[in-house]
Chain A
Amino acid sequence: MDKQLLSVAVVGHANTGKTSLIRTLLRDASFGEIANKAGTTRHVEGAEIRIDEHQNLVIYDTPGLEDSMHLLNIIDNTPIEDSKFEHKDEIDRLLAFIEREHEFPELNQEIKVLKALLTNDLIFYVIDVREPILGKYRDELKILSYAAKPIIPVLNFIEAGTTNIDNWQAQLARLHLHAFVSFDSVVFRFADEMKIYHKMRTLLAHREEQLEALIQQRQQQWQERESAAQQLIATLLVEAAACRFKADNDEQSISVASEHLQTAIRSLESQTLSQLLALYQFKQQDIDQYDLPIEQGEWELDLFSSDNLQEFGIKVTSNFVKGAGVGVAVDIFAAGMTLGAAAMTGGVMGALWGVKQRYYDEIEASIKGHRYLCADDLTLHVLWARQLSLLSALQQRGHASVNKLSLQHLDSNKDILPKYWSKWLSRARQHPQWVTLNKSDQPKLKEKKVLLIEQITTYLTSLKSN
């Protein structure tokens, strides 16, 4: 099957982030080489972005234009009197110059860029907005204009160079480049990426369908990923809350059980972490590049360590860490209430049996002087916040400080908790069978668990859209 190709060349001065931009668009940190110096990229390197089974977008990385003044001088002085150049325009001038490429070995890299300019459908001109607008950049743009291809200026480094954006914008407008997009490969925003594709669609009207398909596909993928990630977080919350361990009513037994509990929750969290990383295709390479507080697939700070708690604004002296550890006993009273209600409404043999099965463990435990330990609200809260901030860091492929993101004033600020938070938790706590590691002979059907997870996911989605 022949694939329909649409191709883009990424050009610009050295070290403006061309290769970084492509890596971000490809979500592939293995593409090309990146270094904070000139002349890193030496080949013209291409990669395909899959649109669907019939269509691709090919994107080419080019070496940086580093000597545009010299290049422009030479191009402008290239004769095009030869009869084979029938148009005698700038494109012919470029062609004539390329014919003589062996005469200018020092411009070898620039010539590669010129060839890329002439052979692709569209040009991304990447600008480091932190830079002053120098003559050499104007010369670069002039050379680009010779190729008579649609150009999208991409203002890169916008996080660091906000103040200079207007200057660049004015300069670009003077060169008839009104449609620009701003981007930051390091502090990534999905909306910015979409803007690039939207601009492409506007500029390449004859490729509109193809680009529309690309936009649709990327958007769908982004949303699918996000909701899958939210599902994972919701599942973690539910399972961590449902986790429980039985202990006798004495110090030692309680501390053993709470140790078990911590281990169990830790392992649930670590599973979620690896799934989230896999979902966003974060490899060790990216983790290093973006300084995530993750070490070999594990959080650097243990969930229960006092350092981690401090990151989330919890004072280590609070009774949370004192006493019997994280675990608190399940409230048997709540269970009793439900027991009565169920007996009232049920009234059927089956329902009674169900109730017996459902609360048997708790009732037996309270009679025999045992108790059940499960994670307390604060632990779950920290767990929750930590995953959410990880998610937003993953979505920015980025620098966002994962721990310090959202939970500065955890104790004081109650309203950042979801409205139904405690309802969710108590529901999960009443269903120990939702975690496979709890050995419970309660029914295995997951319908209600799925429902609760769905509810929490919906909450997260609504949070995002606001």
Chain B
Amino acid sequence: MSKGDRLVDLYQHRLITEGIRIIEKPSPSNNFNADYNHLSFSDALLKRTQLAELRYQVGPVFLHFQYLIKLFCALMCVVFLCVGASSVSHFLVSEKGSQINFFWAIILFIVPNVISLIVWVFLYFKRYAFNFAWLTNLSVSIIGLLDTFHHKVNTKHPYYTALFRYYFEHRFGKYMGKAQLSFISHLWWSSYLLGATLSLLLVLATHQVDFIWQTTILNEGAFLWLTQTLTYLPELLSINVPSPSDVSHASIGIINPLQAAQDIRVSWSNLLIFSLMIYALLPRIILLLTFYQRIKSKKKHFTIDFSLPYYVQLKSLLHPITNAHFIKDADQQKASEEMKVNNAHYNEALVLPEKMYPFAIELDEKCLKQANSHIKAHYEEPLINILDNQSQQAVLSQLSSSKAENIVIYVDVKRLPDRGWLRLVKQCCYESNVTVYLILLGEQSVDVNSSLSVRLQDWIEIAAQARISTENITYLINNNSLSDDIKNEVEIG
């Protein structure tokens, strides 16, 4: 495949990608999975387009549209060719068929051409010039008409209209529209002029005509000046053209001698055909080729606007931030060791034992005060609050030396119980006859605060794992006004 082919190919691909966007609007479907991970986005998009095209079949539809537009232009070309050809016999050649008014010929072919060129230049450099409502509608309806006459596609694509709208916008919209319309207008003018030139040649080849000029209000000077300007170029190329004296003789009624007349006829027709070709047809054809190239390069450089929401979504679909989760170091232990406690049950009227060893774990100042005031009645020393390794070791050694059979642990219900806590409590039960009491400190009733009730649940669950019976767990609320009655229930026996 040559390089040029590939570029055209790429253009078609991009067009199809856009067509798929029109079909999938508003969000890309994630049905076209493949391994896009190792591709750059544009390559991945290409691959996806190929996959999706298998289903959507956008390409043939676009080719059909392309064909329709071509057909439309070609038909119009033929029409203009005929118009050009017939205009020569209609307007130029007089009834007797023996005289051609040179002035009239110039006005008929060259002047409108120049004027239309000027209009075209003006429109070309003006923004939105081609956004003529009527023009668009007219062409759309003509193309639609062509389509109905043209029974090639009998089963229409389900997105036919939407695709057509897109394609039309693409060809005649902001990106290519100016080049495309310029091309078409030059093409049509070229056909018109070509038709005129050919039929003029035909007329001159088969008729003997005399060239004259007529005027009522212009003077001879103007006509002289015009012909002289026109003859400047052909004279340089040493083509036989009428001399100034021929021009002034060419007014009506002056009959030349036979031989001289034939020479003058030839030079006049040289001038007319030369003017038509060089001043009218040639610029049009040059412009035609220029815009042909321009369209080609526009197609080559056609890029998709990836900032459209659709493509942004597609990007994260083809290249998600993450596409693989994997377990690296799996948990071998069975999760069954966890005990589920269904309702947060505790002993509201817990009676603390006579002999005990109390301590606290990770209490903040406020909770520690609460705990100390709670234990004060019964236990003279201040509580040890375990915060780090040192305090932990201190508690453990005191505990083993005290030989206490009852351990009371104060914790803050807001804190999260974890395995460290569990290990510590298990370590405290150095002998099998040790009983552990758990006192949860809080500031609110759990009914008020749902997150607190979840935490309470966590504590009761972990207590179960530490084999603390729910009978030995209580919840102490440090809210004097609200919880006096609850507090009274927890008596120290």
Contact = CB atoms under 8 A, between A and B. Distances in A.
A30 B315 CA distance: 20
B39 interface: yes
Contacts of A36: 451, 454
Interface in A150-181: none
A354 B319 contact: no
Contact of B335 (A1, A42, A46): A42
B481 to A, nearest CB: 27
Contacts of A44: 327-330
Interface in A310-334: none
A279 B137 contact: no
Contacts of B328: 43-46, 60, 116
Contact of A136 (B136, B309, B420, B454): B420
B390 interface: yes
A350 B364 CA distance: 84
A368 interface: no
Contact of A73 (B140, B321, B389, B451): B389
Interface stretch (B57-65, B164-172, B253-261): B164-172
B325 A228 contact: no
Contacts, number: 182
A445 interface: yes
Interface in B10-31: 26-27
Contacts of A132: 364
B312 A228 contact: yes
Most buried by B among A46, A108, A450: A46
B419 A50 contact: no
B362 interface: yes
B40 A275 contact: no
Contacts of B392: 69
Given A224-B307, A354-B134, A66 B27 contact: no
A339 to B, nearest CB: 14
Given A72-B389, A134-B388, A45 B325 contact: yes
A47 B387 contact: no
Interface stretch (A85-93, A404-412, A436-444): A436-444
Interface residues of A, number: 76
A242 interface: no
A187 interface: no
Contact of B309 (A46, A112, A229, A357): A229
A353 B138 CA distance: 12
Interface string A37-74: 11100111111111011000000100110111110110
A308 interface: no
Interface in B251-285: none
A358 B331 contact: no
A26 B330 contact: no
B173 A445 contact: yes
Nearest to A457: B307
A406 B313 CA distance: 27
Interface in A6-56: 13-15, 26-28, 30-32, 36-39, 42-50, 52-53
Contact of B417 (A38, A72, A442): A38
Contact of B313 (A37, A112, A271, A278): A278
Interface residues of B, number: 62
A69 B389 contact: yes
A275 B27 contact: yes
Interface in B133-176: 133-137, 140, 165, 168-169, 172-174
A457 B322 CA distance: 29
A129 B120 CA distance: 71
Contacts of B165: 444
Nearest to A106: B423
Given A225-B312, A228-B312, A53 B39 contact: yes
A82 interface: no
A135 interface: yes
B176 to A, nearest CB: 12
B184 to A, nearest CB: 16
Interface string B283-320: 00000000000000000000000111100110110011
Interface string B454-476: 10001000000000000000000
The 10 A-B pairs of least Cβ separation, nearest first, read A135-B388, A44-B329, A67-B420, A42-B331, A66-B418, A66-B419, A228-B309, A228-B312, A38-B418, A443-B136
Interface of B: 26-27, 37-40, 128, 131-137, 140, 165, 168-169, 172-174, 306-309, 312-313, 315-316, 319-333, 335, 362, 364, 387-392, 416-420, 423, 451, 454, 458
Given A42-B335, A231-B308, A448-B128, 13 more contacts: A26-B321, A30-B325, A53-B37, A72-B389, A73-B389, A134-B362, A224-B315, A227-B307, A228-B309, A271-B26, A279-B309, A357-B134, A445-B172
28 contacts: A1-B38, A26-B321, A30-B325, A38-B419, A42-B335, A46-B325, A50-B322, A53-B39, A63-B331, A69-B388, A108-B332, A132-B364, A136-B420, A227-B307, A231-B308, A274-B27, A275-B313, A278-B313, A279-B309, A279-B312, A353-B133, A443-B131, A443-B133, A444-B140, A445-B136, A445-B172, A446-B173, A448-B128
